[in-house]
Chains A and B, each alone.
Chain A
Amino acid sequence: MKIIDYSDRDHYKTQAFQTPFHERAAAFNQKHCWGRWKDYITANTYYDTATEYFAARNACSVFDLTPMTKHRISGPDALDFMNRLVTREVGKIKPGRVGYTVWCNDAGQVIDDGTIFHLEEGVYRLCSQEPQIDWLMTSAIGFDVDIVDETHDVAGLAFQGPTTCAVLKLMGLEGIENLTPFGIAKFDLDGFELTVSRTGYTGDLGYELWVAPEHALTLWDRLFEAGALHGIRPIGSEALEILRIEAGFILAGVDFLPANEAVRPGRTRSPYELGLGWLVHLDKPYFTGKRALIKEKENGSRYVFAKLNIEGNKPAHQSFIFDKRQKFAGTVTSAAWSPSAKVNIALATLEAPHGKPGDQLLAEIYYQRELKWSRVMAPCTVVEGVFWDPPRKRETPPPDF
């Protein structure tokens, strides 16, 4: 079953589609607070963002990620094609494993980031924020590969939080505790196939659960049944936003502009400029953007992606960042108060050479109290690593809570 059938001439009557989980999600969505995610409506918040956030950090949370763009890549040249497409060595992502990656245009500027699921030998699923079929087809010239957009063929839930492994065990997923981070496993759930990957966008222990759309409601029901005594809650995009900033994950269109949508020169970013140099494997055979990236590596980058620890408690949304001499150094792209780390955090794009770990900068923060706006210049420090990094994220088997 396809959730959205592209051949439907009357599709316009449904401006925004419901995901296969909608019926259940709607029952929880006491606020009727829905947002638009590409072709779908999904919850911004169900009940209360703070409560939802803590479900993910304290118990377990369910986020509907069906609208995520998914492409299936297979065929004899699938591996070679993937290696030409992305910056990292895909050969190292064995069947049953997942790898995070970016892909660039010829100029070495990031088109999007996403995850590669090596579903079975030579069959990959690429998950991304933006549709990529045009770029994938462009990149496929000369390769014997088969590329299909399967966004609407797969329903998905992100199941994240410290009690998730316990709940999946209760659900009867035998051996789930042995799944290592970035591993994929398949299970039989009431006679249909459930794919589980130990992946997520929260930087914590967690899984992503994938089924054919017709089994979505069963999955939801089984999950909530099993999680009932383990604090399960659906969460919306507002809570996820805080979770991903704490985890240091970037978001297309927020922390960087997809290169093929950029209009103004200089607005795009290279992987190095997004702090993703570790994903660029210059020692592998040629891939798109490699020449430009080699050059950048030699000559230096224009921008530095930085994680900021900001003094005070006022989130630095859209702040300008200045250096000690009050000269412009960059801007914040994402900001939040971190309820888990109890620090005021932000992701920022800084002009090189700013942004070295330990650099002391100033964030210009506007905040409002009872309709009165004030401004502070809050000192901040460039930090290394992520703001929230619990050991359970890496442990196999993971703890039960």
Chain B
Amino acid sequence: MNNSRTNSNGGYDAIVIGAGHNGLANAAFLAKAGLRVVIVEKNPWIGGASVSRELHEGWIYSNCSYVCSLLRPEIYRALELAKYGLQVVPYGGSVTFTQDGNYFGSYVDEDVSRREMARFSERDADASLRYHADIMRQCRFIRQFLLRTAPDPTSLKPFDVKEMMHLGREFWKLGEDTLGDLIRFYTMSISDYLDEYFEHPVIKAAYAGSGIIGSALGVMSPGTAYVLLHHAMGEVDGSIGSWGFARGGMGAIAKAMAGCFEAHGGEIRTDAGVEQIIVKGGKVTGVALENGDEVHAPLVVSNLDVKRTFLQVMDEKDLDAEFVTKVRNFKIRGSSGKLNIALDGLPEFPALRGNPEMIRGDMHFIDSIERLERAYDDWKDGSWSKDPYVDLLIPTLTDPTMAPPGKHFMSVFVQYVPPKLTKNGVKGCDWTDEDRDAFGETVINQISKYSPNFRDLILHAEVRTPRELEAEVGLTEGNIFQGELTLDQLLFNRPIPGYAQYRGPVKGLYMCGSSNHPGGGVMAAPGANAAREILRDLRKPNTVPEGWLDD
């Protein structure tokens, strides 16, 4: 990199481990504040789980994450991501196919959507207003904390006291009813929650899906209502809950962040996996790379998940025993898989009878809460779901850049896929290539039940189980959020109590990945919040934006 900066003695002010989107955002904010920053990334490419790669000639995949909503607009703007080539195009609508050859759709037009719901239940169609108002209430509460560091409730530092008071005030402002609702919401199962609004099984199933994405929990498990909120609190251009495609695939987000970072003098080293964070005299001094090189800096920021950071690239002897135990206990169970498929043409879904809207949004094939729960039962039994829940999209119907005209890229997110398998009664068996292929086959079969010509259109498929996600992205157990999104691991308890402010237990060590508040998804908030704290410690001017409030 010709415009990269090192400090006077040729070194760096900070090393960011990992070029995931949070590492990139963090590094960009630090570089904007004038720090000399280097990112060391183990892969030959950047982006982590926000990546686009060409695995089949002419096709660009969104290999992991595939849709964008959580990315904070404040960060989008502050890092000038538009200038660096990012465009997020909203899409609308979704469909749930039912086993009887019908389907339930959701449309951008609210009246059409209401009528579609009335096709199944007139009462549910009306109840959805109440439901959306209640979800929006929860969104409004959580959204204001996304670009704030969570206060430490045990601390008497002015910052924490002030933030605790803010939290308390906002709680109080919710009013008596909503306060109660909030507590219920964070502890309820999505199934129980939906029962309070809807009567029709297909409608419940359609709504329940986003309560289990990326989570090792079933629709009937407490805590899944919050997971749904995590997927509803984003926005595209101020439209809360909307989702969009990053033009060119999710890698475009990482690419734009890298563009901003490099324009501010930052340096990215790929193929530079970190073997160990070097600690001397209770302080970090740099990192040792797998290739034997060392890079030195007084400040090291880890974009890796909390387990990888402390149990793999740090020497446990540099850490307190209790701390290490808590890190070990951090829940990061993998539960998801993914298929990325190059298609020779557009698959047909006969149930749609030519409805052109439904294939532009999310497609789902599970039509009852019970089927969703059974899909989870398989996970508990150490197997991928035999009747899996998939979130299927064909981004190329919106994005002209990802496949040749008339050809398509299909992104199939799959729930549930365990990190280890139980084989012949033996728990904890590793995945083999045959297992992976059998899993891929299960998913292709599931889709084929609803699209007879689908299989014949497949030109190439990338099948990813937690094994591949861990090996490639470094997501421990393949957990897509770098740690589960349950109340015990949220806000000031994320990743572990006492360490929710992006500072590690060793001087000079910081954490900026999704293991930290406010959690996973392509949001960039953990990276940005970590940068704010780092700059505070360095007494440098803050380059990280505050959140825009809704009112």
Contact = CB atoms under 8 A, between A and B. Distances in A.
B353 A9 contact: yes
A16 B111 CA distance: 8
A33 B264 CA distance: 53
Contact of A39 (B115, B122, B177, B551): B115
Interface in A3-51: 4, 6-12, 15-16, 36, 38-39
B105 A12 contact: yes
Interface in A93-133: 107, 130-133
B355 interface: yes
B174 interface: yes
Given A9-B102, A134-B126, A265-B173, A260 B133 contact: yes
B126 A133 contact: yes
B433 interface: no
A263 B174 contact: no
Which of A9, A107, A137, A262 has the largest count of B CB atoms less than 10 A from its CB? Answer: A9
Given A9-B102, A12-B105, A133-B122, A264 B551 contact: yes
B241 to A, nearest CB: 12
A177 interface: no
Interface string B349-371: 00001010100000000000000
Nearest to A7: B119
Nearest to A40: B111
Contacts of B166: none
A137 to B, nearest CB: 5
Nearest to B117: A6
B97 to A, nearest CB: 13
B355 A12 contact: yes
A391 B137 CA distance: 47
B109 A15 contact: yes
Contacts of B112: 11-12, 15
A135 B123 CA distance: 9
Interface size band for A: 20 to 34
A298 interface: no
A9 B177 CA distance: 38
B123 A134 contact: yes
B123 A133 contact: yes
Contacts of B107: 12
A283 interface: no
Contacts of B102: 9
Contacts of A36: 111
A7 B125 CA distance: 13
Which of B114, B124, B133, B551 has the largest count of A CB atoms less than 10 A from its CB? Answer: B133
A265 B111 contact: no
Contacts of A12: 105, 107, 112, 115-116, 355, 357
Nearest to B352: A9
Contacts of B314: none
Interface size band for B: 20 to 34
A133 B127 CA distance: 8
A140 to B, nearest CB: 11
Given A11-B119, A12-B105, A263-B136, A134 B111 contact: no
B269 interface: no
Contacts of A8: 119
Contacts of B137: 263
Contacts of B175: 265-266
B178 interface: yes
Nearest to A260: B130
Contact of B140 (A4, A107, A264): A264
A12 B109 CA distance: 10
Contact of B129 (A10, A38, A261): A261
B118 A6 contact: yes
A278 B123 CA distance: 31
Main secondary structure, interface of A, reads loop
B125 A11 contact: no
A11 B353 CA distance: 12
A149 interface: yes
Nearest to A135: B126
A263 B141 CA distance: 11
A133 B130 CA distance: 12
Given A133-B122, A133-B126, A11 B115 contact: yes
A130 B357 CA distance: 27
B129 to A, nearest CB: 6
Interface in A288-322: none
Contacts of A16: 111
B126 A132 contact: yes
B125 A131 contact: yes
Contacts of A135: 126
Nearest to A12: B112
B170 to A, nearest CB: 11
A262 B133 contact: yes
Nearest to A132: B126
A200 to B, nearest CB: 26
Contacts of A137: 123
A263 B133 CA distance: 5
A4 B119 CA distance: 11
Interface string B127-157: 1011001001100100000000000000000
Interface in B174-225: 174-175, 177-178
A260 B123 CA distance: 14
B353 A131 contact: no
A134 B127 contact: yes
A130 B137 CA distance: 20
Contacts of A134: 123-124, 126-127, 129-130
Which of B115, B118, B119 has the largest count of A CB atoms less than 10 A from its CB? Answer: B115
A39 B111 contact: yes
Given A12-B355, A137-B123, A38 B111 contact: yes
A359 B56 CA distance: 75
Contacts of A263: 133, 136-137, 140
Interface string B424-453: 000000000000000000000000000000
Contacts of A11: 112, 115-116, 119
Nearest to B351: A9
B125 A9 contact: no
A112 to B, nearest CB: 11
A11 B117 CA distance: 11
A4 B111 CA distance: 12
Contacts of A6: 115, 118-119, 122
A12 B358 CA distance: 11
Nearest to B105: A12
Nearest to A69: B126
Contacts of B116: 11-12
Given A261-B133, A263-B140, A9 B122 contact: no
Nearest to B118: A6
30 contacts: A4-B115, A6-B119, A6-B122, A7-B119, A10-B353, A11-B112, A12-B105, A12-B107, A12-B112, A15-B111, A38-B111, A107-B177, A131-B114, A131-B126, A131-B129, A133-B122, A133-B125, A134-B123, A134-B124, A134-B126, A134-B127, A134-B130, A135-B126, A137-B123, A260-B133, A261-B133, A262-B133, A263-B140, A264-B140, A265-B174
Interface of A: 4, 6-12, 15-16, 36, 38-39, 107, 130-135, 137, 149, 260-266
What are the 8 closest A-B residue pairs judged by CB atoms, nearest first?
Answer: A134-B126, A265-B175, A134-B127, A6-B118, A131-B126, A263-B136, A133-B126, A260-B130
